[in-house]
């Protein structure tokens, strides 16, 4: 770390020697903006050789420069503009040095806002872009990048999947019942190794050329919107890649959080609300680096905060992003994230965001960061819509892998849901059974298909916004114990032109894989078409023995979900559930297809789930 900071310092010293050189503008971020936004303030980050030596003047009287900020590095110049009542398509900026003027025309577009609205009836599908489908082999390897190699036989290398490959399979997603695509990060990661994962971005405004272009990314969003589908962007505010273009020419000392020596975060989100936490531990959690190749961004620096926020709004406006999944949410500065999401919601009041809070610290550990939560000692405001529900994930796995006991097995699911009062709206939590950081779901349950259906049935009927990881629908597995994350990010079979087998078609899947695919297809539609699973209420009954029952209902709909985790058939006596069964005499089990004329006693096969639509 000391060596790295020394290099950055020498870079700054070297930059100071450029004062005598003629200024030259290399880039301005954002590259363009919009003329009809609610917020009329705009920060322009001007970068290039000695640009701080410029005097800057506007040629448009309706726009004013409220501030010009110079940083320690003379290669940066920050302009703060007030667009006022100006709604034109462009304006000119004069950059003046030694009597010579360079005029830059800055474009303003008119935005047609899309209705960004996620609902609990949505089904989110997580795609790992490099590992899903190769739609454009020409971009597999780019010699000018630090990791130019593409090698499918190497877990940690790039495999050639791209955005065009995802576009090519939108019909597949739609047939499965997917309404929202969530892509792992697609911004450029020009890092020397492991760049395929996307979480060490090196430019906030550029799609990784090995995945496509900004235009390709926008094309994906446009194609989804044509089908009333949505696009969720994976946002990474907390850290950047060590080869980020600003790290190679550090703007000033406060761009990233620096320590006397390399200091890794303590990964303890609980320090945010621990009444006994030390100031050191709080600081280490937020300011410590996630990894030595992922510098921690100093979000408390005002110009940095504005740069980040504008880049996120730029992508929403440019591509029509419908939602954010926010990486490592609890590692960010709380006040910054609140400011950031409020800034976005000023333009899009219903914009959906879900934060990754990955720590086994209980429900409070997630709810604390969400909007209007029930913890009285939470900060006064938060604009995070929901949490990515790790607590429910762990509970479902416990229910599937452990026999029911007082505090284990099915009781884990029950107990986790009893804490939902801590959330303002738990129905918007993003729920899941696996993802790009976890063992494959089918692997975790030891490839027991009966358990697979129970867990998937819970996911698709309980509260929350369900998400599935690519390949889960065809029972994809990973080696255990896994040696690296590449084993849980294996290529989707059939996604490459050279693949001899494809899981995209019925013919290419096994009978069991087709059964899994059809299960998701069936219950994703049941969820979408019945309001009970969207805005409806949830009522659960305490687990008894090997069984657990809950209901999803509205004034006009009611579904009963009954689970048996025992090795023998159980007869469920429904007397204690009378309050939810009043007025109903019949049922249809959507799992088995059985028509039921008597609801007083219900047979539950061993290790099974029944999803029963009640009728009068």
Q: Please list the active-site residues.
A: 327, 356
User: Which whole-number Å values give the CA distances from 14 to 46, 49, 72, 73, 334, in the listed order?
Assistant: 19, 11, 12, 9, 35
Could you please report the per-residue DSSP string of 539-560? EEEEEETTEEEEEEE-SS-EEE
Q: Please, which residues have CB within 8 angstroms of residue 85's CB and are 6 or more apart in sequence?
A: 62
For residues 140 and 484, the answer to whether their CB atoms sit within 8 Å is no
Secondary structure string (H, E, C) spanning 303-371: HHHHHHHHHHHHHHHHHCCCEEEECCHHHCCHHHHHHHHHHHHHHCCCCEEEEECCCCCCCHHHHCCCC
Look at the block and give the residue holding tokens 């009329």. Answer: 40
Would you state the structure tokens that stand for residue 109, as one six-digit string?
């577009």
Look at the block and give the residue holding tokens 């029972």. Answer: 475
Beta bridge partners of 207: 187
Terminal alpha carbon distance of the chain: 69
Q: Please, which residues have CB within 8 angstroms of residue 68's CB and are 6 or more apart in sequence?
A: 56, 77, 78, 79, 80
φ, ψ (nearest 5 deg) of residue 433: -120, -15
For residues 353 and 324, the answer to whether their CB atoms sit within 8 Å is yes
φ, ψ (nearest 5 deg) of residue 394: -65, -35
Burial class of residue 14 (count of CB atoms within 10 Å of its CB; 0-12, 13-18, 19+): exposed
φ, ψ (nearest 5 deg) of residue 547: -115, 155
For residues 125 and 468, the answer to whether their CB atoms sit within 8 Å is yes
φ, ψ (nearest 5 deg) of residue 41: -90, 140
For residues 616 and 584, the answer to whether their CB atoms sit within 8 Å is yes
């Amino acid at each position: 770390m000391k060596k790295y900071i020394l290099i950055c310092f020498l870079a700054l010293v070297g930059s100071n020697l450029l004062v005598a050189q003629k200024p030259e503008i290399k880039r301005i971020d954002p590259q363009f903006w919009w003329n009809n936004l609610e917020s009329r303030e705009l920060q322009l980050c001007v970068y290039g050789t000695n640009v701080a030596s410029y005097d800057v003047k506007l040629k448009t009287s309706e726009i004013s420069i409220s501030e010009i900020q110079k940083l320690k590095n003379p290669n940066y110049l920050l302009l703060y503009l007030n667009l006022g009542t100006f709604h034109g398509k462009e304006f000119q900026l004069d950059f003046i040095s030694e009597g010579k003027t360079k005029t830059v025309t800055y474009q303003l577009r008119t935005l047609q806002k899309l209705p960004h609205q996620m609902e609990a009836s949505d089904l989110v599908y997580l795609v790992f872009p490099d590992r899903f489908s190769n739609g454009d082999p020409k971009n597999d390897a780019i010699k000018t990048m630090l990791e130019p190699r593409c090698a499918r036989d190497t877990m940690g290398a790039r495999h050639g999947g791209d955005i065009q490959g995802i576009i090519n399979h939108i019909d597949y997603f739609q047939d499965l019942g997917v309404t929202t695509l969530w892509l792992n990060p697609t911004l450029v990661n020009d890092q020397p190794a492991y760049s395929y994962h996307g979480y060490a971005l090196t430019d906030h405004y550029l799609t990784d050329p090995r995945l496509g272009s900004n235009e390709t990314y926008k094309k994906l969003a446009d194609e989804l919107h044509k089908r009333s589908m949505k696009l969720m962007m994976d946002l990474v505010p907390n850290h950047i890649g060590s080869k980020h273009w600003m790290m190679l020419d550090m703007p000033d000392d406060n761009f990233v959080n620096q320590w006397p020596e390399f200091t890794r975060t303590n990964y303890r989100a609980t320090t945010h609300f621990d009444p006994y936490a030390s100031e050191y531990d709080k600081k280490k959690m937020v300011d410590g680096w996630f990894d030595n190749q992922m510098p921690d961004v100093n979000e408390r620096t005002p110009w940095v905060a504005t740069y980040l926020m504008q880049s996120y709004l730029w992508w929403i406006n440019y591509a029509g992003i419908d939602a954010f999944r926010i990486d490592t949410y609890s590692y960010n500065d709380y006040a910054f994230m609140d400011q950031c999401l409020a800034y976005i919601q000023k333009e899009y009041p219903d914009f959906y965001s879900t934060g990754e809070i990955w720590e086994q610290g209980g429900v409070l550990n997630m709810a604390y960061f969400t909007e209007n939560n029930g913890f009285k000692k939470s900060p006064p405001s938060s604009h995070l819509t929901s949490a990515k529900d790790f607590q429910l994930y762990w509970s479902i796995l416990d229910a599937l892998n452990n026999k029911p006991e007082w505090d284990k097995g099915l009781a884990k699911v029950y107990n986790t849901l009893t804490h939902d009062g801590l959330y303002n709206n738990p129905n918007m939590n993003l729920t899941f059974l696996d993802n790009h950081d976890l063992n494959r779901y089918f692997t975790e349950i030891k490839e027991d298909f009966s358990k697979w259906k129970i867990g998937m049935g819970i996911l698709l009927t309980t509260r929350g916004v369900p998400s599935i990881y690519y390949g889960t629908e065809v029972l994809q597995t990973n080696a255990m114990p896994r040696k690296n994350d590449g084993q849980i990010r294996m290529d989707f079979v059939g996604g490459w032109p050279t693949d001899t087998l494809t899981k995209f078609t019925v013919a290419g899947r096994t009978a069991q894989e087709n059964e899994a695919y059809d299960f998701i297809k069936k219950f994703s539609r049941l969820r979408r078409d019945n309001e009970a699973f969207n805005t409806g209420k949830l009522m659960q009954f305490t687990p008894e023995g090997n069984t657990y029952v809950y209901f999803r209902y509205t004034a006009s709909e009611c579904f009963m979900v009954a689970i048996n985790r025992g090795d023998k058939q159980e007869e469920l006596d429904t007397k204690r559930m009378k309050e939810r069964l009043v007025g109903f005499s019949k049922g249809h089990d959507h799992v088995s297809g059985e028509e039921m004329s008597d609801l007083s006693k219900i047979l539950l096969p061993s290790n099974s789930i029944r999803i029963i639509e009640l009728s009068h």
